[in-house]
Amino acid sequence: MLSNYKRPILPLLIYAGKRIEAQRFSDSPILVGGCARSGTTLLLSILSSHRELFCIPKELGLFNEVSKDEQGNSEPLRIDRLYTSLLVNRIPKQAKRWCEKSPSNIHHIQDIDSYFGGNFRFLQIIRDGRDVVLSRHPVARDTYWVSPERWVLDVSTGMKYTDHPNVYTLKYENLVQDFKKSVEGICSFLGIPVSEEILNWHKHAAVTRNRAYYSRVKELSGDSIGKWKQPQNQERIAAFMNNPEAVRLLECLGYKSHE
């Protein structure tokens, strides 16, 4: 909800933000989405190391609320969040486009396509649901962040767009285990060069803190893959595997449901 103190200056914020957008960015925006705890923040950090990209550090949820005009075109009700971010953050001199990450973007690809008239790029990241549902909430550490049902809903929604020309799908496991190849695929899709900075992203990332991180960003590690196999996690994993839709989706994605 828009706060009362901001309402009078909203037109000015939007006007000033639009001027910055027009002056500083010449290429299509990038949006990142996927189920929470699947690597969306990691992906944003990696992208933030590239000199041609300005990655917004906060999740804006731009398309969580939209209206429709008479022609059915989507209009985000909180687009002011974007323009405020362009005003308050330092934009790298060589940045040609902005990038925003909100896990909820995965549910709004159609609205994103409508608003930008097809002039956008979308990155969706998928992770083995058994590892996803083991993640504890950073605030309420005695609770799990993502339910099996949410993982199924979020991933299934994104999978509907795997053939969309403006949507690129990657797996968290591939990003971690074959980083160079994964980055080359991402850069090719975005039409940006594979730079030394992005290959050594942890030294150059502009986004190093986020509520999704338990600490500052670190180098990639395979330790986060396959935690679901550990004995102490079997009760939680049994609940996941008792969900037939989750098991079917695992197999559809190429994850072995039994090892």
Percent of the chain with pLDDT over 90: 82
The DSSP result for 102-132, as a single string, is -GGGGG-HHHHHHHHTT--EEEEEE--HHHH
The model's pLDDT over 7-32, given as tens digits with 9 standing for 90+, comes to 678 888 899 999 999 999 999 999 99
Query: How many residues are recorded in the chain?
Result: 259
Strand partners, 121: 30
Residue 137's SS3 state is coil
- The pLDDT, as a whole number, for residue 162 is 96
Over residues 132-160, mean pLDDT: 90
Phi–psi pair at 47, nearest 5 degrees: -65, -35
Helix (H, G, I), strand (E, B) or coil at 170: strand
Largest Cα–Cα separation, the chain: 59
Confidence tier at 61 by pLDDT (50, 70, 90): very high
Mean pLDDT of 38-61: 97
Q: Is the pTM of this model over 0.75?
A: yes
pLDDT of 98-140, one tens digit each? 999 999 999 999 999 999 999 999 999 999 999 999 998 777 6
* CATH code for the structural domain at 9-211+220-252: 3.40.50.300
Question: Which pLDDT value is given to residue 194?
Answer: 98
pLDDT digits (tens, 9 = 90+) for 184-241: 999 999 999 999 999 999 999 999 865 554 455 667 888 889 999 999 999 999 999 9
Question: In this predicted structure, what is the pLDDT of residue 257?
Answer: 74
Give the strand pairing for 66-68 and 74-76. antiparallel
